[in-house]
């Protein structure tokens, strides 16, 4: 919103014309998110310690994680305000997509906050029941999906990578599809958040990819040239993606190994939901499976582990799921697991951006 006030004087001060460019406002949004996390990070950590809001480690987790007990958690309470403030300041205030992502951040952040709060009050690693958490996520995602469906001009067709002429129209079935994307991505990121910096690093990489996708989908000439769906107004989502990248980098400063603060569900649930929502807005839902391939792999490792365990009467595929714990138990040092997973995320992101021209 601030940029609108500044732009009012562009006729008198010509240099203020720069605020009409999404690219410039994205840079400002990134720097704002980064600055907020840097400025308030130390204060947040001290505050959480004073309130004794520390991490509780599950009993069946890797033995080396016992040392992490008591580390301040709920770091999402730092990330989310940084993202929302940066977005609201530098994005177009009348753009519906901007307010959709703000709603997603607040609603899923609220669910995550409630889950973390119950863990702290109960002094255990158990918060909301799986059924309650899942139901609340579906409800929030359903509201978003309905807004997409009834919004004039929103396209319910799917953009299939590599095939420019294959555009299946889901019609009303797009609603459950969108719910699946948002809730699934939210939980996949939540499962990945198990090591210091493991989730926030790939999130920064994924949202950096969607900076590109958002800009291209919101530019009518470029979208036409690349033969990708043009979504009027989606260019403003670049500002949101920039805010996430900036806030993520600021949080990583404190969350890198050995972590001074953990993200908690108040961070992982809304960040995953935001990623899924951005994929829907930009009509790059299918490519999300590649951009966020690391999150998909983590989620599938849990699903396969549980199914195999039940079908075989107690046998396991991995030593422990999610799969990052499997590599820990194989003897990989935690920093090695983290950095190698980041490398995989970068490779997947590069492949996903490369598909833009392969039509």
| Angstrom distance (rounded) from CA 199 to CA 174 | 28
| Angstrom distance (rounded) from CA 322 to CA 67 | 19
Give whole-number Cα distances, 246 to 107, 199, 204, 242, in Å.
21, 15, 8, 6
User: Is 270 within 8 Å of 102 (Cβ atoms)?
Assistant: no
Instruction: Please identify which residue in the block is written with the tokens 């940084």.
Output: 82
Query: pLDDT digit string (tens) for 155-210?
Result: 888 888 877 677 888 899 999 999 999 999 999 999 998 888 899 999 999 999 99
**Is the confidence at residue 8, as pLDDT, over 60?**
no
Mean pLDDT, residues 254-265 taken together: 90
As beta bridge partners, residue 157 has: 169
Q: What SS3 class is residue 257? A: coil
**Is the confidence at residue 118, as pLDDT, over 80?**
yes
| Angstrom distance (rounded) from CA 153 to CA 147 | 12
Q: How many helices (H) and strands (E) does the chain have?
A: 14, 0
Can you give the pTM of this predicted structure?
Answer: 0.92
CA dihedral 162, 168, 173, 174 (to 10 degrees): 50
Query: pLDDT digit string (tens) for 279-331?
Result: 999 999 999 999 999 999 999 999 888 888 888 877 888 888 888 888 888 88
* CB neighbours of residue 239 within 10 Å: 29
pLDDT for 195: 85
pLDDT for 324: 87
Query: pLDDT digit string (tens) for 20-34?
Result: 788 889 999 999 999
Q: How far is CA 82 from the centre of its chain?
A: 14
Helix (H) or strand (E) holding 78: helix 76-90
């Amino acid at each position: 919103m601030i940029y609108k006030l500044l732009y009012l004087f562009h006729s008198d001060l010509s240099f203020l014309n720069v605020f009409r460019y999404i690219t410039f406002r994205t840079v400002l949004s990134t720097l704002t998110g980064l600055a907020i996390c840097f400025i308030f990070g130390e204060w947040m950590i001290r505050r959480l310690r004073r309130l004794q809001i520390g991490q509780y480690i599950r009993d069946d987790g890797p033995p080396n994680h016992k040392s992490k007990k008591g580390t301040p958690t709920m770091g999402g309470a730092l990330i989310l305000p940084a993202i929302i403030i940066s977005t609201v300041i530098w994005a177009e205030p009348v753009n519906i997509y901007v307010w959709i992502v703000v709603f997603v951040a607040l609603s899923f952040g609220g669910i995550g906050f409630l889950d973390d709060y119950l863990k702290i009050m109960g002094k255990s690693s158990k918060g909301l029941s799986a059924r309650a958490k899942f139901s609340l996520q579906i409800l929030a995602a359903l509201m978003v999906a309905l807004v997409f469906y009834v919004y004039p001009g929103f396209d319910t067709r799917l953009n299939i990578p590599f095939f420019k002429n294959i555009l299946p129209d889901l019609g009303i079935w797009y609603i459950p599809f969108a719910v699946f994307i948002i809730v699934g991505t939210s939980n996949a990121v939540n499962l990945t958040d198990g090591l210091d910096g493991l989730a926030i690093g790939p999130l920064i990489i994924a949202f950096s990819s969607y900076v590109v996708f958002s800009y291209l989908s919101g530019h009518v000439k470029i979208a036409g040239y690349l033969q990708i769906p043009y979504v009027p107004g989606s260019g403003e989502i670049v500002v949101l993606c920039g805010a996430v990248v900036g806030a993520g980098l600021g949080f990583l400063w404190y969350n890198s190994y050995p972590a001074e603060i953990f993200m908690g569900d108040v961070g992982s649930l809304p960040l995953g939901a935001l990623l899924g929502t951005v994929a829907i807005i930009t009509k790059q839902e299918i490519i999300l499976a590649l951009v966020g391939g690391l999150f998909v792999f983590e989620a599938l490792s849990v699903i396969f582990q549980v199914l195999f365990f039940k079908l075989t009467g107690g046998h396991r595929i991995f030593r422990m799921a999610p799969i990052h714990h499997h590599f820990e138990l194989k003897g990989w040092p935690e920093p090695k697991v983290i950095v190698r997973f980041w490398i995989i995320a970068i490779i997947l992101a590069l492949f996903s951006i490369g598909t833009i021209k392969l039509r």
